[in-house]
Structure formats: C-alpha cells, structure tokens
Amino acid sequence: MADKDLKTKWNLTPGGWNLEGVPAYQDEKRFTQVGRSVPRVDGPVKVKGEAVYTGDMILPGMVYGKIKRSTYAHAIIKKIDYSKALELPGVLAVITGEEAPNKWGIVPQAANETVLAIGKVRFYGEGVAAVAAVDEETAEAALELIEVEYEPLPVLLDPFESMARAGEVLIHEDSPKNILHEGEQVYGDIDKAFAECEYVLEREFHTNYPQHGFLEPQTALASYDPQSGQMHLWASTQIPHYLHRQLSIVLEIPMNKIRVTLPAIGGGFGGKGEASIAEFVASLLSRKIGRPVSVTFERNEVFFTNKGRHPCHMKVKMGLDKEGYIKAIDFDNTLDKGAYSGWGMVVLFYTASMLHLPYEVPNVRFRGRSVYTNKPSTGAMRGLGGVQPRWALECIMDELAEVMGISPYELKMKNAIESSHTCINNMFVPHSEYKKCLETAVEKSGFLEKHGKLPFGKGIGIAGGYYISGTAYTLYQNYKPHTSVMIRVDTEAGVTLMCAAADIGQGCNTVMAQMVAEELGVHYEDVHVQSGDTEIGAFDLGSFASRLTYASGAAIKMACVEINQKIKETAAGMLGVRADQLVLKNREVYSMYETKKRIPWEKVVEAYTSINGSLVGLGNFSPPRRKGIDIVTGNRVQGANIGHSPTFGFSAQVHEVEVDVETGRIYVKKVTEAGDCGTPVNPMSVDGQVEGSIMFNLGACLYEDQKLDANGKHLNPNFHDYKTPTTMEMPEMDTNIVESYDHTAPFGVKETGEGAVQPTFPAITNAIYDAIGVRFYNLPITPEMVLKALKEKKAVEASSK
Amino acid sequence: MKKLIELDINGRLYEVAVNDRDLLLDVIRKKAGLFGTKKGCGEGDCGACTVLIDGKPELACLKLAIACQGKKITTVEGLIQEGGALHPIQQAFVDHGAVQCGFCTPGMIMSAKGLLDRNPKPTLYDIKHELSGNICRCTGYKRIIEAVQAAAEVWSKEGVK
Ligand code: FES
Ligand code: FES
C-alpha cells in the first residue's frame, strides 16, 4: 500500500492528526502497519518452489535414516537381531531402544516414551530399531533384514475396556489402572443448583480419532560434529525450545551444545507440537556415525505416530433456570490417550477449563480421566481440549433451547459473557466481543428467518466458541519469560528481529514484521525476521496454544521502547526539539507540535550508529499468572489454572447444510462466521486462518477418523482411506472480523488460529438436526449413520401413526 | 541396473542414471535438484508432487522416470518469467493469500496451470473439480480458488506463455 493510502485509510492529516482532532500518536488504535492486509513475506519463495523445507536440504556427506516399526500393537520384544542388516553394503549403523533409554515427553512429569521401544511395544507402528545408510533404498532394504521376535499381549483399544481389564493387562507398569491421570474439579454447589433448575438435560457424546494431516511429513536433519561435540538439528517442528530441551535429555548433551533450526515448515496444527521420533533418530544416528543424517517420515509413519485429537467419551448434564440462564454443568469425560502420555494431564484439564466459557456458568463439576490404550498416542490438535466439550455443550444448548421453545441464538445471547468477566475457576477474560460475533453471524446468514423453516433435508445450525491466546504456564516448572526477542537496528541490516518463534505456515513472520514496523515507525518491508532458531533467536516457547501474536507482540513492544528512546534522543539533537515531543511514523521522526521539524528515520539511525554502533533492544513477555481456585470458596482446585490466558478470542458460526436423504451424504453449503480476534494484524491472514479452521473441522466432523482392526493394526494410514476434505467439499464461506480491541493486549490483539475451529462440529450437527430432525451424538457423522437414523425415524413415525 | 536416460525438465535436458523402478518425483528432486516439487504422500493421494507432462498435470510420485523420456516435463521452477518475474498464477497466489505453509502450493499451482492452459475461462466448478486432487490442510481452499480465478482473468486479458 502506498503512503498516501495509509494516510487516507486512517484519516490522518499530513501532520499526523486525525480528523477528530486527536493527535494520531495519542490514539493507540491508529496503526499504519498493523491492521492491514499485506502479502506474506514468504509468499514469493513458496510459490516459486524455492522455499527450503527440511526435506529439501542436502549437507555434504549426508546419509539417510529409516525406522523399523512394530507389527504388533501390544507385545513383549523378545529379541532384535540386526546382524544381517549391518552386513548389507551401504549400511552405516543400526540402533535400538537401549541406545537412548531416557524418556521423552513434552510434559516432563509424565514423560514415558523412549525413542525406540525398549522391552515392549505399546502400539502398532511403534519404532523398534533404526538404520543409517548411504541412501534411502539401502536403509529400507536393511529394515527388512532386521528380525524382531515378539510375544503378543492382549490388545486394549477401548478406554473402558482398558480400565476394566487393568487387573489383567497393564500398558504401563507404573499406571496400575491403565489411567494416566484422573481428576475432579468442583465449583459451587452442583446438586443444589440442579435441584433449582427448570430445565435439565443429560446426554452422552462420543468423538472420533482424527489426525492433523499436515502436508509435510515430519522431517529432521541432524549434523553432529564429534570434534566440538556440537549437535545441529534442522527439524519441521512447532516447538524449537521444547524439542531442544527434550533432545538434551535424551542425548545427554547440554542444551548449549545443541542448536535447533527451523527451515520452512509444512504445517503442524499441533502435531508438530511434540518432538518426533524422526528428530531423535536422526540425532542419535548422526552422533553414532559422525555424519549428517536425514530422516523423513513416509505418510503412513505420520499416521502411526499420530498425536492427533483425543477421542472423548463425554457425559454432559446442563441445567437452566426458568429464564434460561445456565445454572450448572456436570461433565464427565473419558479421554482415549493412546499408548503414551505426551501432553499428559494438560489435555484432560483443558477439557475441564472449556466448560467455563463463553457463557457464564456459576456451578460446575468436572470428572475426567485420561486412559491408556494400545493405539497411536493422541496429543495436541488444533483447538486442543476445546473442540470435544464445545461440541457437546453447544449441541446440548441447541436441544435445551428447543425444549424451552426459544431460538438457540437467544439462549446463547442470554448467557454469553462480556468483557471483564471472572469465571468461577478464577479465569479472567479482560475483553469479549462474543455477543457481537453471535449477532453478526446471525444477521449475515439470516439464521432467524431460516431456522426451523427450511424444507426437509435442508437445515441451518448455530454454535459459538472461544480459545485462549497463550497459556499462563510453561509445561515444566519454570519462571523465565515465555518469549524473548532481540531487535537490532543499524545501517547494515536495517531492522532485524531475532527470535525463536516458529512460523509453521500460519504467517507469524509477517505479523511480527508488521508489529515491529508499527512500533518503530517504519514499514513492514523494512523488517527482517530471523526466527525459528535457538541459537540466533532469543528464547521462545513455540507455536502452540495460539500464543504467538500476543506474546511476541508484547515482547516486541518492550524491545522497541529502548530503541525508540535512543532514536528520539538522537533526533532531538538533530532537530533541536525535545525528545519526548517526537513521533516515529512512516519512516520519519517529527515533532508532534512543529510538524515541519522532521527528519528521515534512517538518517537518525545513521547518526546514532556512527557514534555508538548498532542499536539493540531486548524485550520479553510473561503472561500474568492467576491462581486456579474456586472463587466462591477460595479453595485451590487441581488443574484449574490450565486454560488461564492473558486474553481470549471468540467465534460464532452458522452452517447451512443439505442432506441427501437417498445417499445419506451431508453437504455443508454455506458457512457464515464472525470472529473476535482483537486487532487483526493482517486481516487477510486472519481470514485464511478462519477459513482453514472451518475446513479442518468440517473434515473431522464428517469424514476423518483413524481406524484400527481388532489387533490394533492401522487400517487407513494414508490419504486415500483417511478422507480429508477437498475443494469439492468446500462450502461458500463468509468470514467476518468483528470490531474488537483489547486494551490490555499489545496492539489490542488476540488469537485467531484455534478459536474458529471450536464452533464447527456443533454448528454442523445442529444444522443436520434442523434438516432431518435427527440429533447425532457420535462423530464423524457418516452417510451410513444418516441413512440408519432416517430409517429408524421412519419406523418410529410409522408405528406411532 | 542403472540406465542413463535424458529427461527434458523445464526445457533443459538432464542426463540421469536411473533404475527401472525410479519414480519421476525422486529423480526431479534428488537427481535434477529441483526441490520445488513436494512429496506429501508418495502414493498418489495428495497432489503435492503435481507436474506437467506434455502440458498435462500428472502425479510425479506415480510416474516411472524412464517412461518420461522424450516428454516435456514442467515443474514449478519452470514457470518463472523473464527477469525472475512471477507467473500470473504465482502472483495471484501471493496477492490473494493463497499460501500458508506452502507445501501444497507448487502442486496446486501446477494443477491450476494445467487447467488454464486447457481452459482459460474456467467456471468455479471447473476450478474446484481440477484442484480436487490436491489436498491443502491450511487454507480451506477459498483463497486458492480465488487466486486461480484472478489468474484466469489476467490470462484472458493479457495472454500468457
Ligand atoms: S506425493 Fe504424489 S500425490 Fe502425494
Ligand atoms: S498451504 Fe499448507 S497445505 Fe496448503
């Protein structure tokens, strides 16, 4: 955008005053760089095919690693014989679990996975050995030569069966009930509240077992230098820091001897939010042979190692008073953890936290347990812990509205929270435009005119949701800032932001450039972003929990304070005006009172660096911590601080569906979405995130489900049988960013990447009910389920005639 | 046994030693060093490896390299215009926010190119249909389709090579 456009866009006079007579610099919302749709900084290299992903890298002397995987879901490993593999020409090394017995896992208290299985395998496809060879073909041939002898154990694939048979079969010796963790949270007086309710409904909901399906399989390239003892790992990860930390534990190398670098990343959606075996295996093999080793998963290995969404078995009871105000929620959740703990109790308690918003709920009881099964482990997947309870709650509210004889929209508006809301678990929401989201989605879709009035087979449904913008706590005991950034300004590199944030495709490098530019008064094109490197960049926790825009924004603001102060002091001398009267905007420094006194920003930088050398600013951010308590009694509640966040994003969606009653197929025809993401730093990217979110969960609602046979063998570890939505399933999408500004947030920002996945399941499910009068409590909602339900419905109707 | 064959990729002849079983995708990436073509599945299910063979979009992970002798292969690198300018499809992808992680992007662009070469004025359905073999997990497809529509417009106005 040309400078001219910027001025007219924000109604600025040439002197920097807006038309209402308020000086622009005094109005914190009058941005020039933030809040505009700019093309992504990495767009051109990606369309040219020149972006370098980990799998595109070749280092001198590089060889390839491959992993031998278990053909049993639960078995004792009696013997591994790899002598024949070692004899194959071109094979350089073979490793087994004993090589690295230290346990890894992103939550250290729960870490219970080894790089390769030791003594026993717990899911089909678990790694048992790995090979390094001169090329991939040789490595693959070597895998065939490794002989593994197993003694099969009973396979537990269902969490209820797993608990019931724990006396007889244990998946982990140290978990006597096959339960990773169970917990209870009680707020208020649930029984009393239900007794006083006018409307009470109780339902059971069961979710499916989808996987992220990021298009770039996990890839890692490790290069160990035996002379210096330095390990350099390039990896397709979302969490350079947590990976760094776990590598240090597994390899027993100090963190300062390991460097993690992120090349371009081909998507993550939470799946690369945990370390991957590829990373450990590449590192171990490289250390063993002293040469760079590249490990790329095949697509089936992506499915085998999974870490997708937890299937949840939820019992939900919700009570409303006469007027329709929610008085109580009783929620019982059994999560299918799969074989290893990974995120541990975090996901369990997220599903608890999600009960407290976006509606006011005075009495809540949560009981839950995360149960081991012999399945590929579940983990973090877009909207972690939120999607399943949100589906249940928004569906039950739809039913309750029907019982009450009011519109679900009315019921939601009545209960929706507003800004400065404290939940009963002490979660604080500084700002909310959730009501505006609901209003906008309803108005733009014509929901009220259509709901309940469309012909049979056509339906419309509404649902809302929210998500955190970062979490208040690190995954291990630690009090250091969650994000640090360094900004360097000089005539050589201009402006460079150095940080360890991970651009996994969501576009944070562009957004961070915009924020730095805004703060320094330059243009986003002037900012170089060096991110995703634990050595170049300062500390950052990584890309998860929708934390980046907020956390990086806050750290960037802080780093710029120091720089701007020095720029102003220098310019003050050059212009002969007081430093505190200077404004930095549009690559200029000028006096707010005598606007003729101005000088190009670059000239000031030149003057400063000629005297002092490079100008460097440091910034960091730690989210505020709040206690996890019941605010009525003041009692501490275990896990209640999980889900606390500096601020929250909101979304409302209206889905319009058509159900083909002959085939049972469900077509989502149109989606109207309205989101509160605070200030949209790059509105085009926000829309992209929201559209992607909708399609992501549209797929998981209607098509996606990993299937295992009775022995735990994965039946659809490929994109042929695991169906993700294509262009043909894409509905018309009308996404709207509602006007929102959170004064407590840097630049007024909030999350956008995970809030918009929350309403999709329930909005579709409610729309299907509106279309054919059947409520579904299992996912995905397949054509077979629709046909069966329609048949049953017909039979019931016939018998009642 | 390896054979020496010649492959015409983006108008340049590459002399490569291949096995009978070697896949075009691997040869393009590892032997010709053209890493723009991506492998998302290696099983013909995702479209990330789409290239043009004699103008037709094909999945390089399903093609044997030896079967491509004497054919004109175009990869995403072959679209670049004079002076390094972007091809209108590439430009449209950038301008419309059709790129997120970018891993599906080269394949998408090649599928779109195949379509527009054949049918410069595609309907919405034509575009959806043509791109239905290319999975994108990031964008929700909307902006990709808008980009192809925009490129088609430039195409019919200005004409493209
Ligand atoms: S890599 Fe060829 S279709 Fe997926
Ligand atoms: S942009 Fe990531 S898969 Fe399409």
Confidence of residue B157 (pLDDT cuts 50, 70, 90): confident
Nearest to B137 among A40, A213, A720 (CB): A213
Q: For chain A, what percent of residues have pLDDT higher than 90? A: 90
Of residues A8 and B1, more confidently modeled:
B1
List C-alpha distances in Å: A641 to A120, A345, A349, A584.
Answer: 35, 12, 9, 40
Cβ within 8 Å, pair A299-B42: yes
Cα gap A17→A583, rounded to integer Å:
11
Q: Is the pLDDT of residue A254 over 60?
A: yes
Tens digit of each residue's pLDDT (9 = 90 or more) over A661-718: 999 999 999 999 999 999 999 999 999 999 999 999 999 999 999 999 999 999 999 9
Q: To which H or E segment does residue A155 belong? A: none
Confidence tier at A4 by pLDDT (50, 70, 90): very low
Contact between B137 and A299 using a beta-carbon 8 Å cutoff: no
User: What number is the average pLDDT over the span B135-148?
Assistant: 98
Whole-number pLDDT of residue A629: 94
Q: How many residues does chain B have?
A: 161
Per-residue pLDDT, A28: 61
pLDDT score for B67 = 97
pLDDT higher than threshold 70 for residue B123: yes
Q: What is the mean pLDDT of residues B16-33?
A: 96
Rounded to two decimals, the ipTM of the complex is 0.98
Residues A291-308 pLDDT 10s: 999 999 999 999 999 999
Q: Do domains A312-473+639-800 and A480-621 have the same CATH topology?
A: yes
Instruction: State whether the beta carbon of B101 lies less than 6 angstroms from ligand 2.
Output: yes
Q: Tell me, what's the pLDDT at A6?
A: 41
Whose CA is closest to A308, among A706, A765, A715?
Answer: A706
**Which of B93, B102, B106 comes nearest A505 by C-beta?**
B102
* A7-21, A386-400, B97-111: the lowest-pLDDT one: A7-21
Residue B57 in contact with ligand 1 by CB distance below 6 A? no
Q: What is the number of the ligand 2 atom nearest to the C-alpha of B98?
A: 1
Q: Is B52 on the interface with A (CB under 8 A)?
A: no
pLDDT-derived band at A19, boundaries 50, 70, 90: very low
Give percent of chain B with pLDDT exceeding 90. Answer: 94
pTM for the full model? 0.96
Considering only CB atoms, B42 lies closest to which of A212, A267, A298, namely: A298
Query: Which residue of chain A has the CA closest to B128?
Result: A727
Please answer yes or no on whether A49 and B103 come within 8 Å at the CB atom.
no
Beta-carbon contacts of A469 under 8 Å, excluding residues fewer than 6 positions away, are A546, A547, A549, A550, A645, A646, A647, A648, A649, A745, A749, A750, A751
CA of B141 to the centre of ligand 2 (A): 9
Instruction: Give me the residue label for tokens 């997990």.
Output: B137
Residue B160 has pLDDT above 70, yes or no: no
Q: Say what the pLDDT of residue A29 is.
A: 66
pLDDT at A538: 84
Check whether A20 has a pLDDT greater than 90. Answer: no
Q: How far is B152 from chain A (nearest CA, A)?
A: 17
pLDDT value at A172 more than 70: yes
Confidence of residue A22 (pLDDT cuts 50, 70, 90): low
List the domains of chain B with CATH numbers. 3-78 (3.10.20.30), 80-158 (1.10.150.120)
At A27, is the pLDDT very low, low, confident or very high (cuts 50, 70, 90)?
Answer: low
- What per-residue confidence (pLDDT) applies to A658? 98
Mean pLDDT of all residues in B122-137: 98
- The pLDDT, as a whole number, for residue A410 is 98
Question: What CATH number belongs to A54-153+215-267+272-305?
Answer: 3.90.1170.50
Read off the amino acid at residue A193. A
Query: Is ligand 2 within 6 A of the CB of residue B97?
Result: no
Contact B76 A718 (CB under 8 A): no
pLDDT at res. A578: 94
Ligand nearest to the CA of B23: 1
The answer to whether B160 faces chain A, any CB pair under 8 Å, is no
pLDDT in tens, A608-658: 999 999 999 999 999 988 899 999 899 999 999 999 999 999 999 999 999
pLDDT of residue B155: 83
- Spell out where A300-340 has E strands: 312-320, 326-338
**β partners of residue A80:** A148
Q: Which residues 99-158 of B are in CB contact (within 8 Å) with A? A: 99-106, 109, 127-129, 131-145
- Contact (CB, 8 A) for B61 and B49: yes
Residue A24 has pLDDT above 60, yes or no: no
pLDDT at A322: 97
Q: Which residues pair with A230 in a beta bridge?
A: A225
* 3-state SS assignment for residue A673: strand
pLDDT band, very low/low/confident/very high, at A7 (cuts 50, 70, 90): very low
Q: Tell me the nearest-neighbour CA distance from A55 into chain B, angstroms.
A: 9
Q: Which atom of ligand 1 has the smallest separation from the CA of B38?
A: 1
Q: Which residues pair with A461 in a beta bridge?
A: A655
Does a cis peptide bond (omega within 30 degrees of 0) precede residue A683?
no
Q: Which residue in chain B has the smallest CA separation from A213?
A: B137
Cα of B144 vs centre of ligand 2, distance in Å, is 10
Q: State the smallest CA–CA distance between residue A449 and chain B in angstroms.
A: 27
Ligand sitting nearest the alpha carbon of B106: 2
- pLDDT single digits (tens) A317-337: 999 999 999 999 999 999 999
- Asked if pLDDT for residue A83 goes beyond 80, the answer is yes
DSSP class per residue in A80-138: EE-HHHHHSTTEEEEEEGGG--S-B-SSGGG--B-SS-SSEE-STT-EEEEEEESSHHH
Q: Chain A residue closest to B95 (CA)?
A: A39
Distance, C-alpha A207 to centroid of its chain:
18
pLDDT at A148 over 60: yes
Q: Which of A29-33, A243-247, A491-495, A576-580 has the lowest mean pLDDT?
A: A29-33
Q: What's the whole-number average pLDDT of chain A?
A: 94
Q: Which CATH class is domain A312-473+639-800?
A: alpha beta
Residue numbers in A near B9 (CB within 8 A): none
With b for 16 or more beta-carbon neighbours within 10 A and e for fewer, the A623-633 pattern comes to beebebbbbee
**DSSP letter string, A561-627:** HHHHHHHHHHHHHHHTS-GGGEEEETTEEEESSSTT-EEEHHHHHHHHHHHH--EEEEEEE-PPP--
* Residue A11 pLDDT class (50, 70, 90 cuts): very low
Summarize pLDDT for A365-381 with one digit per residue, the tens.
999 999 999 999 999 99
Question: A164 pLDDT exceeds 50?
Answer: yes
A299 CA closest ligand 1 atom index: 4
pLDDT at A269 over 70: yes
Q: What is the pLDDT of residue B161?
A: 53
Note the pLDDT of residue A142.
Answer: 98
Lowest mean pLDDT of A12-16, A29-33, A515-519, B66-70, name the range: A12-16
Q: Do B102 and A264 touch (CB under 8 A)?
A: yes
> What are the domain boundaries of chain A?
54-153+215-267+272-305, 312-473+639-800, 480-621
Across A510-521, average pLDDT? 96
Q: Is B47 in the pocket of ligand 1 (CB under 6 A)?
A: yes
- Residue A347 clears pLDDT 60, i.e. is over it: yes
Pocket probe for ligand 1: among B23, B29, B61, the residue whose CB has the most ligand atoms within 8 Å is B61
Does residue A2 surpass a pLDDT of 50? no
Give the closest residue (by CA) to ligand 1 atom 3.
B44
- Which ligand has its closest atom nearest to the C-alpha of A266? 2
Nearest-CA distance B94 → chain A (Å): 5
Are the C-beta atoms of residues A422 and A361 closer than 8 Å to each other?
A: no
Q: What is the pLDDT of residue A26?
A: 52
Q: What is the pLDDT of residue A408?
A: 98
Mean pLDDT of A564-591: 95
Class of domain A480-621: alpha beta
pLDDT band at A346 (very low <50, low <70, confident <90, very high): very high
Which of B96, B134, B138, B144 for mutating ligand 2's site (highest number of atoms within 8 Å of CB)? B138
Which of A 666-695 lie inside 8 A of B, CB atoms? 684-685, 687-688, 690-695
* Ligand 2 center from residue A180 Cα (angstroms): 34
Whole-number Å distance between alpha carbons of A178 and A160: 10
Average pLDDT across chain B, whole number: 96
Beta strands of A142-298 (E only): which ranges? Answer: 147-152, 179-187, 199-206, 219-225, 230-235, 258-261, 293-296
| Of residues B38, B109, B133, nearest to A47 (C-beta) | B109
Q: Is the CB of B73 under 6 A from ligand 1?
A: no
Q: Which residues pair with A132 in a beta bridge?
A: A65, A93
Cα angle: A520, vertex A523, A528; to 5 degrees:
85
Please report the pLDDT score of residue A476 as a whole number: 81
Q: Is B40 close to A215, i.e. CB distance below 8 A?
A: yes
* Angstrom distance (rounded) from CA A465 to CA A447: 17
